[in-house]
């Protein structure tokens, strides 16, 4: 588990004085970047040497309560599963121990041309070496199946 502190600034809020919904995604992105640093991985160096970058494939988010101007927030990030192709993270934004926002984020790696590639071995190894609290190898599961195969199958059946 990794913890990252974020202060809510005026620029983070909307007209109602609460954190604009999209800014929670920025907060959890910053926390993930800091978590990767704690694993000893240099994302800029990885990109320069291999052309590989991380990309968010899926986010499932729940907005539970609003954060407001000047709140001091804690973003807690915990890897849930790592496979050769993806990393699933559980991320939460808290204020004074109360959960305001939760997200399950699925990350993949892309090469310089934008094609999906295996996650760097260094990342997989670092997550697994961090212990059982960090991720379960090979047990990544999205919260809901990708609807594309069912949609294609449904269309095929309807066209017959």
Distance of alpha carbon 94 from alpha carbon 77, whole angstroms:
11
Average pLDDT over residues 4-27: 96
Work out the pLDDT band at 143, boundaries 50, 70, 90: very low
Alpha-helical segments (H) within the chain: 21-38, 43-50, 121-129, 148-159
* Among 14, 42, 70, 125, the one annotated catalytic: 14
96 labelled catalytic:
no
What is the tally of structural domains in the chain?
A: 1
- Picking from 130, 106, 117, the residue whose alpha carbon sits closest to that of residue 53 is 117
pLDDT exceeds 60 at position 101: yes
Work out the pLDDT band at 68, boundaries 50, 70, 90: very high
Contact status, residue 61 vs residue 29, Cβ threshold 8 Å: no
- Picking from 54, 45, 113, the residue whose alpha carbon sits closest to that of residue 85 is 54
- Domain containing 129 equals 2-159
Top-confidence residue, 56 or 52: 56
pLDDT exceeds 80 at position 14: yes
CA angle 26, 61, 108 (to 5 degrees): 70
Task: Name the token pair of 82.
Answer: 């790592």
Distance of alpha carbon 70 from alpha carbon 12, whole angstroms:
10
Q: Which residues pair with 75 in a beta bridge?
A: 4, 93
Q: Look at residue 9 and give its three-state secondary structure.
A: coil
pTM of the model: 0.77
Sequence length of the chain is 160
Contact status, residue 108 vs residue 114, Cβ threshold 8 Å: no
Per-residue confidence (pLDDT) for residue 20, from 0 to 100: 96
Q: What is the pLDDT of residues 72-100, one digit of tens each?
A: 999 999 999 888 889 999 999 999 999 99
pLDDT exceeds 90 at position 137: no
CATH code of residue 10: 3.10.129.10
Distance of alpha carbon 71 from alpha carbon 118, whole angstroms:
38
Average pLDDT over residues 110-128: 85
């Amino acid at each position: 588990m990794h913890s990252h502190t974020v202060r809510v600034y005026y620029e983070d809020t909307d007209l109602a004085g609460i954190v604009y919904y999209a800014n929670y995604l920025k907060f959890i992105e910053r926390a993930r970047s800091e978590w990767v640093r704690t694993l000893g991985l240099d994302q800029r160096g990885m990109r320069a040497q291999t052309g590989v970058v991380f990309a968010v494939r899926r986010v499932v988010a729940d907005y539970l309560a609003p954060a407001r101007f000047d709140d001091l927030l804690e973003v807690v990030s915990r890897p849930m599963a790592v496979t050769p192709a993806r990393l699933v993270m559980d991320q939460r934004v808290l204020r004074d121990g109360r959960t305001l926002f939760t997200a399950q984020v699925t990350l993949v790696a892309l090469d310089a041309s934008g094609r999906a590639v295996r996650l760097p071995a260094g990342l997989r190894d670092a997550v697994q070496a961090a212990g059982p609290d960090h991720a379960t190898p090979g047990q990544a599961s999205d919260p809901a199946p990708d609807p594309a195969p069912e949609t294609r199958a449904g269309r095929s059946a309807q066209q017959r």
